[in-house]
Amino acid sequence: MRLQRIVGEDRAIRTNIYLRNALLGTAWSSRLEFPPGFQFGAATSSYQIEGGWDADGKGPSIWDRLFHSAANSGYFNQTGDVAADSYHQWRQDVKAAADMGLDFYRFSISWPRILPTGRTNVVSPAGVRYYSQLIDVLLAAGIKPVVTLYHFELPVTIQDLGGWTNPLIVDLFGEYARLVYSLYADRVDTWITINEGIVICDLTYNFGQFAPQIKEPTFAPFLCNKHVMLAHAKAYRIYDEEFRAKCGGKVSIANNLLWVEPVTPDDLELAELGRQHSIGRFSHPIFSKEGGWPPTTEKLMRAVSRREGYSQSRLPAFTDEEKKFVQGTADFFSLNHYTTSMIRPARAGEAPGTWFINGSAELNAVLEHPPGSTYGALDIMPIYPPGFRRLLNWVRQQYGDVEVFVSENGLATSGTNLEDHIRVDYLTRYMEQVLLAMEDGVRVTGYTVWSLIDNFEWFDGYNTKFGLYEVDFEDPARSRRPRLSAHHYACVIKHRRLKYPESCVQERRNGRR
């Protein structure tokens, strides 16, 4: 039954080579090798590692305000005030990246650290210097900086104007992007404008937990969605028109792609609608030939809005000019992926929940975990590697032979444990799926582990660990130590193979690289 369900899942994907290899993803790639030029890296985000929340004149972000307020519902009221103290200990991060032999390090810039007021009227020399030093030392170590302009860290001054639900943010983000390009584009050639619009919009406003803790699931997620697309396009156009000729870099947007499969063969159409409703809303306007929202999503939202008594769709339309402005504004497809869900219609009397974690109110659907899944520390992220391959093939089927860059993939653990065999297994199995997808014809050029070091994991605080390197949060110096997964990843990078000499990890433990 399981085989029949997957075979029938998508006719375009069904014909791919992986159905002749191993549907369940248990067989190794025939080569086990990554091709020449394939890039390996790791990632972090500013609020989660930097600390120095008010150092050297930094302005407050929406997360600073939330975790300093009475509404702080985080893990034992922990905050990111110090985090891994990368504002002061950033050289330790560079050393960790260099010791593993990373090709690149993806990090984000804190908007209020560069612009304390959120606007370009005040530029922080200390903030500018911090990122400039980090970039220079990375380059000196032979590590390419991959820079994210926005990773959830909005200045409170802009949030107080409505944040991502105010169309003004399109121009404000453009001003910020132009300034950052002018400071660093001579040394940075790969840019991510915005990280995970589905988190910024859907997760934030549907649940009301993430900063700025506003719950308004009717209009806010879709206003935010449109403004994220326009703000990204604004930043892309600025780079394209003012910096590309001189700097020759690439720009994209990183979307979180939850792979969705049908619970039964009857749910095939619903599964595809679910993909378009989550992935498509943040990808179709950029990567499709026609631009704008996915047609099935537009149709769905018109029907839902009409039933609810609204004269217009809750999904705000793009004008023809806006469609053209957004269309084509990415030089590669940047995706974050962690997990897979199964989708089915909500039953009579069953609440569908909201999209991203529980299901979708608009789709009247419920998400379930794949049968037989295993888990790390987060039960919202079942481990299901085959979904990654199917997702990568779906991206190619939807958007053509686009360059794909995996900008995040990783597993959460908890507690103090340097022997993280479960993370080694996760990374190996998910990288295997990348190789298999590449054999299918998907043009994947890079892979990024989330995360380089342990960080402040939002409302899980310091309890949840994603790091290849453990951070001692009791040590004032926030010392870093490599986990087994760091040694494993370093050996994969060194040999460019998933299977490498058994002596490699032991040599690294003994201090030999």
Amino acid at 393: N
Beta pairing partners, 256: 336
Amino acid at 364: N
Provide Rg for the chain, Cα atoms: 22
Backbone phi, psi, residue 431, to 5°? -65, -30
* SS3 state of residue 493: helix
Separation between Cα atoms, residue 192 and residue 149, nearest integer Å: 6
Show the 3-state SS of 380-441.
Answer: CCCECCHHHHHHHHHHHHHHCCCCEEEEECCCCEECCCCCCHHHHHHHHHHHHHHHHHHHHC
- Render 214-239 in DSSP notation, one character per residue: ---TTTHHHHHHHHHHHHHHHHHHHH
Tokens of 415: 């507690």
Separation between Cα atoms, residue 220 and residue 350, nearest integer Å: 24
DSSP 8-class letter at 462 = T
CA distances from 147 to 131, 185, 341, 376 (A): 10, 10, 30, 28
Tokens 């998910």 belong to 430
Strands of the sheet containing 340-345, edge to edge, are 259-262, 340-345, 365-368, 359-360
* SS3 state of residue 481: strand
The end-to-end CA distance of the chain, in Å, is 48
Amino acid at 6: I
- Output the CA torsion sign for 39, 44, 45, 50: negative
Residues taking part in catalysis: 196, 408
Residue length of the chain: 513
* SS3 state of residue 170: helix
DSSP 8-class letter at 59 = P
